[in-house]
A and B are shown apart, each in its own frame.
Chain A
Amino acid sequence: MIRLLLQGDCWLILPVILPLLGALLSFLLKKQPRLPGVLGALVTFFASAALAWKLVSHGGGRYYLGGWQPPLGISLRADGPAVLMVLMTAVTGLAVSVYAGGYFQSRINKRGEEQRHLAQERSFWPLWLLLWAALNGMFLSADIFNMYVTLELVALSSVGLTALSGKPASQVAAMRYLLVSLLGSLSFLLGVAFLYKVHGSLDLLAIGAALSLAPAVVMAMVLISVGLMLKTALFPFHFWLPPAHANALAPVSAILSGLVINGAWYLFFRFWQGVLPLVGEGAATLLAVLGGVAIVWGAYQAFCQQRLKMLVAYSTVAQIGYLFIIFPLMEMGPEQGAAAVFYFVISHSCAKAAMFLAAGTLFLQVGHDRISDLDGVRQVLPKTTFAFALGGLSLMGLPPTGGFIAKYMYLSQAVSQERWWLVAVIVAGSCLAAVYICRAVAHILSPRLVAVAGPVVVAASMEWSALALALVAMLLGFVGPLVLHLIEVAG
């Protein structure tokens, strides 16, 4: 068995199977869902790390589930970007899991509604681990129909998680989220159908190799693109995101903003990576324009928000824009462009998750998240506020954070290709991010002594996990060569 593990490429399946097992266990152990949940997260983390190590040392690989070959069998494929995403999910996911343990414990301890919180936790762990499994499946998927399935799995479990808080606003948001993602995934599926009609294959690489501009293919590309844009919440399809992300439970917000968005975007990127040489400048420019508008509009809306979590959610809308402005830059330098955008994704994931976790901690401690009334909270929760600020720094793209490196790569691409309007967009995005983040941070870190709710009610693990994630975001400012090395590993 062990020899099998070491030899074969079944490492690939572990990041999908293990969280699924965890989900099952935590679903079955209704009394103690947390233990299998956290354990599952831990094991998945190690499995993902092992996969990454294996990839770096032995190169990428393929795995056919149960030995079934395509087209009917499910095949998994590991290359640099996929494993990087798996690894990112593992890091963020582990931190979120640790956080969630403390979060639910604190909530259960805190108020009278013990049963409701217990029930929430019981649903949380299976849903979350299922989501994790689906995400990993999506990243490692080699064929596009599996992508659809995992996309749906991700969507369904996220909707479940969103609705978990039980607040009216979250129900409405979850409903809208569900409808939008159904629209998106059905568009995707129709696109897949078109592709299959033309190519008779579901393998992404095979399709990419034989791509032409036949009408059916164009139709497929359009449907897939728009469907995934919907799911990625690119402007103008961002409308469902802020309410869903802001009204969910704290760990859920982090998961949604830090991981789920990236999942849909990853598929989009994978498709366009192949398509880009074909379609020419116009489409890429369109994407970049939408991205640019998203950056400005999201930042602007974030600045208008009165609530901390809404602010962070809108900041996600803005940051999504960065994921799309890379496309024009990739025409001239595909490798550098990919490196930049993946760097951006991972640092954004860690930073954003840290910020949402921190915001959740503040919410739990203070009882609200009105920005203007958060003065002096630093004295109660120094680590959490620091984590929030650090995450903010990464979003602003200031050193020493991963965000800085990513912005640096973006800018140097834009400058060396002399796309000045993109330079302007990137810079404006940084400035605007600085504006809205500083607005929040100025209150949170304010030295004013305001009596914010007395004793600390949040668990230590909540504070530490957010801080750890923020520190990872910072650390990403220093491990550039490692990350880039990982990205460059071919499939």
Chain B
Amino acid sequence: MMSHIVLNEQLQLLLLSLVPGLPLVMSCALLVKPLQGIGMRLAPWSALPALGAALLLDPGINLEVTWFFMGGRMGVDLLGQRFLLLAALVWMLSAFFGRSYLRSDPRRTSFFFFYLISMAFNFGLILAQDMLGFYLFFGLMSFSAYGLIVHTQSREARQAGKIYIVLVMVGEVLLFSGMLLMASRLPDLELTTIAATSPECVSLILLFLGFAIKAGALPMHVWLPLAHPVAPVPASAVLSGVMIKAGLLGWLRFLPVGPEMAQSGWGTIFVVMGILAAFYGVLIGLMQQEAKTVLAYSSISQMGIMTMLVGCGLLSPAFWPQVNNAVSIYALHHGLAKAALFLGVGLVVAEGGRRSVSWMMGLLLLPSLALAGLPFSSGAIAKFTVKEVVHGLPMPWSEALGLFMPLSALATMLLLCHFLKIVNGAFPRKTSISTGMLRPLLVLLAAVGGLLWFWPQLPTYAEHGADRDLLWQGLWPVLLGWGIMVVFWTWWPAGIKSSTVPAGDLLWLVYNPHDKRDGLFGKIDTQEGKGEKGIFRRIGMWMDVLEAGRGLEKKLMRWGVVGGCYLMLCLYLIFVILKI
């Protein structure tokens, strides 16, 4: 990003350390009773340094902190800058939204505590320039987000939290072992070193799976549709908009790119998995009846596209910078739009009223259509950059993926239509609209609509944006999707029964998430009596032996025995001494 204000290096470093530092300090303030009021008021602003850093810092600036943890580096690079921008915007606006949304919640302080620390760690993970720093913040963020998911303390929330935490734990150890394997072959743990290393199968699998859990890739996506709906709206927004991108960022940071990678099957795996996820998410999403669940499935589907993109980069290493560019733009677009949708749902559900339906539906329509790639929206730009990458691929891939892109847009459109219908049917009867919630949403919408237009890559799109072909390519999936859904609604007004595939789909095969038990592993022994009883029995046997010994001792006391011993011993000694 072009920085118009030039900061000297000291200030830049200060800003850099404030990015995760300020939210952490604020979260600590929330723990102290007298400071809670101020803390709550200032909470959203603590993302300001991050925003500033995303906009103002020179890419490539580094802060070396040798004493910290295992020694590490924080800094901003191009990729990080975009992710930081996304994170800062979404976290900040959701926080503003949340302040109003949770106004009457008695436990909002606790919510904001977890919110702020998750935020801090999320920023930290974007800034981290070494392996362990990334891992550190990644893990911390995952665990702090648990507090957001289970905030409502409903049974569903607990169940979702349980699934989430189990997967987080598994992800943690997968990453731990993967990084360990990787680190053992590296001279140091800088990210730049990692990118240059040659791939090693086991550690790649581990890292891939570890990040896939967070990124919601198939089949590790099961926590997403369970966790997103139960969390409070601002939390869902950041979860879906920003936090799952951490998995994506992990891939980008840790997958070694090079000819060796291209020859292995990794690229294909990513691409196939991405495509599968893109359609699978839509398919299952269409069967859901709750707005936030549908959005969660949409996220799965969208993450599929990004997975596919990463796969493209692996297939042809020469394209890696473009892929990075495309992924970060797509992530930015999707994050903003998805956050806007979640906040919109929150606004509608919490505060909506009959009278304002139409314009509020309008608020939701914009990000929806953007996701489907409506021309001149952020989606269009994102998809354009994606297509540029796809076209550059070797032959079979460019064909296939060229076909895939409009189809995925169509699928997205179908799903979002489904979503809009659900929202439309779910308005409660309230009248007032809180500006505290509306304002952040509007800012977010503005960002969705306008931010990408200021992007350096825009000129390419601006050149071709008005092209007939491009226009049509963006438009027909939207229109077709709309048409299909209208037809569908007319024929089956009731929609598909929700019980067909419940939220969490594949999880049901192995585990019933509505299980009433709280313990992770079923029954817990409250006492262990068996072993001890055995010991007592043995002691009883000993007692009998002791009795026998006492009898023998009495016999030894008889004079006759003593005399016998005396003589025997005399004789024996004689024999022994004379060595007979």
Could you tell me which A residues sit within 8 Å of B by CB distance? 180, 183, 213, 218-219, 221-223, 225-226, 229-230, 236-239, 279-280, 282-283, 286, 300-301, 303-304
B577 with A218: CB separation less than 8 A: yes
Give the interface of B toward A (CB within 8 A): 546, 549-550, 553, 556-557, 561-562, 565-566, 569-570, 572-574, 576-579
- A232 CB to nearest B CB, Å: 13
Q: Residue on B with the closest CB to A239?
A: B557
Q: Would you call A303 and B570 a contact (CB within 8 A)?
A: no
Q: Are B577 and A226 in contact (CB under 8 A)?
A: no
Q: How far is the CA of A221 from the CA of B550 in the complex (A)?
A: 33
A446 to chain B, nearest CB (A): 19
Identify which of B546, B570, B576, B578 contacts A226 (C-beta below 8 A): B570
- Within the complex, the shortest CB–CB distance from A302 to chain B, in Å, comes to 11
Across the interface, A304 reaches (CB within 8 A) one of B549, B556, B562, B569, namely B549
Taking CB atoms, residues of chain A closer than 8 Å to B577 are 213, 218, 221-222, 279-280, 282-283
Given contacts A226-B573, A236-B556, A286-B573, contact A218 B565 (CB under 8 A): no
Chain A contacts for B570, CB-based, 8 A = 222-223, 226
Contacting residue for B576 out of A279, A301, A303, A304, CB 8 A: A279
Q: Contacts A280-B579, A282-B579, A303-B546: A237 and B573 contacting too (C-beta < 8 A)?
A: no
Name A's interface SS. Answer: helix
How far is the CB of A236 from the nearest CB of chain B, in Å? 5
In the complex, how many angstroms separate the beta carbon of A200 from the nearest chain B beta carbon? 22
Given the interface pairs A239-B556, A282-B579, A303-B546, the reply to whether A218 lies near B574 with Cβ below 8 Å is yes
Q: Are A230 and B566 in contact (CB under 8 A)?
A: yes
Question: How far does the alpha carbon of A225 sit from the alpha carbon of B577 in the complex, in Å?
Answer: 12
List, in ascending order, chain B residues with CB within 8 A of A218's CB: 574, 577-578
Closest CB of chain A to B522's CB: distance in Å?
Answer: 39
The answer on a CB contact under 8 Å between B549 and A222 is no
Partner pick for A286 among B561, B576, B578, CB 8 A cutoff? B576
Q: Are B569 and A226 in contact (CB under 8 A)?
A: yes
Which chain A residues border B576 with CB–CB below 8 Å?
A: 279-280, 282-283, 286
Distance A316 CA – B8 CA, assembled complex (angstroms): 87
Contact between A222 and B553 (Cβ–Cβ < 8 Å)?
no
CA distance A239 to B572 in the complex (A): 21
Q: Which residues of B contact A301 (CB under 8 A)?
A: 549-550, 553
Given contacts A218-B574, A282-B576, 19 further A-B contacts (CB under 8 A): A183-B566, A221-B577, A222-B570, A222-B577, A226-B569, A230-B566, A236-B556, A238-B556, A239-B556, A239-B562, A280-B576, A283-B576, A283-B577, A286-B572, A286-B573, A286-B576, A301-B550, A303-B546, A304-B550
**Distance from B538 Cβ to chain A, minimum over Cβ atoms (Å):** 15
Given A236-B556, A236-B562, A236-B565: A213 in contact with B573 (beta carbons within 8 A): no
Residue pair B556, A300 in contact (C-beta under 8 Å): no
Chain B positions within 8 Å of A225 at CB level: 573
Cα A426 to Cα B556 with chains together (Å): 24
| A230-B549 Cα distance, complex, nearest whole Å | 22
Shortest Cβ-Cβ A-B pairs, 8 listed? A282-B576, A239-B557, A283-B576, A222-B573, A279-B577, A236-B565, A304-B546, A222-B570
**A282 and chain B: residue at smallest CB distance:** B576
Per the bound structure, the CA–CA distance linking A236 and B574 in Å amounts to 18
The answer to whether B562 and A300 touch across the interface, beta carbons within 8 angstroms, is no
Chain A min CB distance to B168 (Å)? 46
Q: Are the CB atoms of B561 and A221 closer together than 8 Å?
A: no
* Residue contacts A-B, CB under 8 angstroms, 23 given: A183-B566, A213-B578, A218-B574, A218-B577, A218-B578, A221-B573, A222-B570, A223-B570, A226-B570, A236-B556, A236-B561, A237-B562, A238-B556, A239-B556, A279-B576, A282-B576, A283-B573, A283-B576, A283-B577, A286-B572, A286-B573, A286-B576, A303-B546
A222 to B578, CA, bound (A): 11
